[in-house]
Amino acid sequence: MKKITRRPPPAPNQFSGTIHPALQRIYASRGVLSDDQIDRSLKHLLSPQLLKGLPQALELLVDALQQQKNILIVGDFDADGATSSALAVLALRALGARHVDYLVPNRFKYGYGLTPEIVAVAQERKPDLLITVDNGISSIEGVAAAKAAGMKVLVTDHHLAGAELPAADAIVNPNQPGCDFPSKNLAGVGVIFYVMTALRTRLKELGWFEQQNMPEPNMADFLDIVALGTVADVVPLDQNNRILVHNGLLRMRAGRCRPGIRALVDVANRKLEQLVASDLGFAIGPRLNAAGRLDDMSHGIECLLTDNPGIAKELALELDQLNHERKNIENGMQQQALAALNQLHLQPDQQMPWGLCIYKKDWHQGVIGILAARIKERFHRPVIAFAPAEKGEIKGSARSIPGFHIRDALDAVASRHPGLITKFGGHAMAAGLSLSAEKYESFRLAFDKEARRLLTLEDLTGELHSDGELNDADIDLPLARVLRDAGPWGQGFPEPLFDGEFEVLNQRLLAEKHLKLTLGFPASKRVIDAIAFNVDLGKWPNPKAQRVKLAYRLEVNAFRGVENPQLMVEHLQAV
């Protein structure tokens, strides 16, 4: 169940007169009030020097390069981990490292992060310096094992820190205690980009590039990778992240991106020159993620690393096929989950668990995160989907709703019920955990109790936050283009959403699940196309509906070289 809520009147702003009035209102409602705040040039990036632990990290890295030590990157098996790993390898090679490699744990064998088991695998490669990317802040035992094996350890991460930090030689994480870096929203790829940028500056000060007779790399060359990982990890797009993503998108649109990214764009049937942030989040990121969900994320990393367009295309096609397999598995699991809920005669009201746990013994570990997200979207409450793991354990992937910090909720459950959860970690909106299968029922009840303690019934009603109604004259191609280019839009900086009533002139199904509409404006004879994806087939098409109330986004539809405005429907209701 969803309701449309209009955003409150925005605060007064100080924009120049060149910005469209509708866009001024949209920016101001998101707390952006002046031209400086929408300046997306790289000169406005926050300084790396504000990151705690950076001096120690640079000392380790400079020594590793000067001595040409063996460097091993240990990443995560999602898109942020893949982009972080690829960026670290590419940047270190560009900076003069001759012995750098990567290792990503297989999620089905080793699980997440730097565990003692993955350290044992890493030892076979005899690294002198081990660098974690997008993980490590909770790897107490893994870091200890690496140190005991004689490795230096640099942790780069962005996840929330626990009560204890690992005993690494250096930790760079904007979310570690005592770090003054103003943006706490960097993705893992953003953190390693900052570290590599600072390393380039330090090496330049030391005269390294002249000594090695090598060109000084342009760190902007890596922004396509940074943009992809940042959007795919769904971190909030504060001003600093918007600068990173915007400049990465500019490079992609200009064709100055990795062959692997170009190939992924091609197999996703997107046009490079028209790419926007949502394409990275909904088309490119999922294909990269599919490798880590179903197979081995090294396929995704190799796609980003290769300089050969032919090899990149082959790897992109493999990732595309894995993504199709992922969708099929996910659809089957989603139907099973909904059937199980229907058998319990649960409806999305106070009788349904407020914190919802779902589990089947034949579910796939790699897809439970997406399953949890889909069920959360349908019932608007925190959801944890579980799948079987090894040694009698089950692994859960959690997705949350605004107002319910999922990692803190798991921490509270663990504190109130010692021994119930084996391990956990994550963010406000997403988390992962492990527990014994025999404790599932106890955990299910404890999690629901914690959700009821922190949430209200009103919190369980999904809201669509509208930027208000557009005048008929403003629903046109010029404003659609302005909105497209005004982002990047995403988590924490939502794409503009409007609401209004329209006459229904025509409606038909596309691909047996999407609704194509031709709409008329109430006060004029103009018409516009609209499309609503994955409609409720029990309600639509509706031949009796002569008027509809919509919540919609105004977008540019480019077809056969011709651009037209189009409404992308988020919610529709016959009136």
What average pLDDT does the segment 59-64 reach? 98
**Sign of the CA dihedral running 379, 384, 387, 388:** negative
Given a contact cutoff of 8 angstroms between Cβ atoms, the answer to whether 379 and 348 are in contact is yes
pLDDT for the residue numbered 523: 74
pLDDT at 355 over 80: yes
Mean pLDDT of 404-426: 93
Classify domain 344-462 by CATH number.
Answer: 3.10.310.30
Six token digits for residue 232: 């795919």
Task: Output the pLDDT for position 2.
Answer: 73
- Specify the DSSP element, H or E, that contains 396: strand 393-399
Please name the amino acid found at residue 349: D
| Bridge-based pairing state of the strands 356-359 and 383-388 | parallel
Q: In this predicted structure, what is the pLDDT of residue 112?
A: 72
pLDDT of the residue at 350 = 45
Q: Which residues of 93-117 are buried (b: 16+ CB within 10 A; e: fewer)?
A: ebbbbebbebbbbebbebbbbbbbe
CA-to-CA dists, residue 559 to 270, 437, 517, angstroms: 12, 51, 17
Q: Any idea which of 77-81, 170-174, 175-179, 239-243 has the lowest mean pLDDT?
A: 77-81
Per DSSP, helices labelled H in 380-495 are: 406-416, 440-454, 477-485
d(CA 550, CA 564): 19
C-alpha span between 223 and 257 (Å, rounded) = 9
Model pLDDT, residue 572: 92
Range scoring the smallest mean pLDDT among 344-348, 359-363, 397-401, 541-545 = 344-348
CA distance 324 to 426: 27
Q: Say what the pLDDT of residue 10 is.
A: 81
pLDDT for residue 400: 94
What pLDDT is attached to residue 369? Answer: 87
Global confidence as pTM: 0.88
For the chain, percent of residues with pLDDT exceeding 90:
73
Which residues face 550 on adjacent strands?
500, 572
Q: Is the pLDDT of residue 432 over 70?
A: yes
The percent of residues in the chain predicted with pLDDT above 70, rounded, is: 97
Q: What is the mean pLDDT of residues 340-351?
A: 58
H helix runs in 165-308, sequence order: 188-205, 208-212, 223-232, 239-253, 259-267, 277-279, 285-294, 298-305
pLDDT of residue 343: 64
Q: Among 222-226, 346-350, 369-373, which is the least confidently predicted range?
A: 346-350
Q: Which residue has better confidence, 346 or 438? A: 438
Question: Mean pLDDT, to the nearest integer, of 53-66?
Answer: 98
Q: What is the Cα–Cα distance from 511 to 508, expressed in whole angstroms?
A: 10
Question: Domain residues of the chain, as ranges?
Answer: 49-319, 344-462, 467-574
How far apart (Å, rounded) are the C-alpha atoms in residues 493 and 400? 18
Instruction: Name the residue with tokens 């990393």.
Output: 301
Select the more confidently predicted residue: 359 or 366: 359
For the ranges 46-50, 229-233, 337-341, which has the lowest average pLDDT?
337-341
Q: What is the pLDDT of residue 427?
A: 78
Cβ neighbours of residue 14 closer than 8 Å, sequence gap 6 or more: 33, 34, 35
Residue 111 is predicted with a pLDDT of 67
> Per this entry, what is the length of the chain?
575
Please give the class, per CATH, of domain 49-319.
Answer: alpha beta
Quick: pLDDT tens for 141-186.
999 999 999 999 999 999 988 889 999 999 999 999 999 999 999 9
349 backbone dihedrals φ, ψ, rounded to 5°: -135, -160
Lowest mean pLDDT among 340-344, 389-393, 402-406, 551-555: 340-344
Name the residue with higher pLDDT: 403 or 528.
Answer: 528
Average pLDDT, the chain: 92
Confidence (pLDDT) at 512: 87
pLDDT tens per residue, range 247-299: 999 999 999 999 999 999 999 999 999 999 999 999 999 999 888 777 778 89
Any residues with CB less than 8 A from the CB of 313 and at least 6 apart, and which? 263, 266, 267
Q: Which of 7-11, 455-459, 547-551, 567-571 has the weakest average pLDDT?
A: 7-11
pLDDT band of 344, cuts 50, 70, 90: low
- The helix (H) or strand (E) run that includes residue 15 is none
Whether residue 488 is preceded by a cis peptide bond, meaning omega within 30 degrees of 0, is yes
Residue 162: per-residue pLDDT = 83
Residue of 116, 235, 264 lying closest to 175 (CA atoms): 235
pLDDT tens-digit series, residues 467-511: 999 988 899 999 999 999 999 999 899 999 999 999 999 999 998
Nearest to 290 by CA among 333, 330, 249, 320: 320
Amino acid 108: pLDDT: 63
* CB neighbourhood size of 529 (10 A): 14
What is the pLDDT at residue 533? 92
Cα separation, 500 vs 522, in Å, equals 10
Answer with the residue of higher pLDDT: 402 or 197: 197
CATH class of 467-574: mainly beta
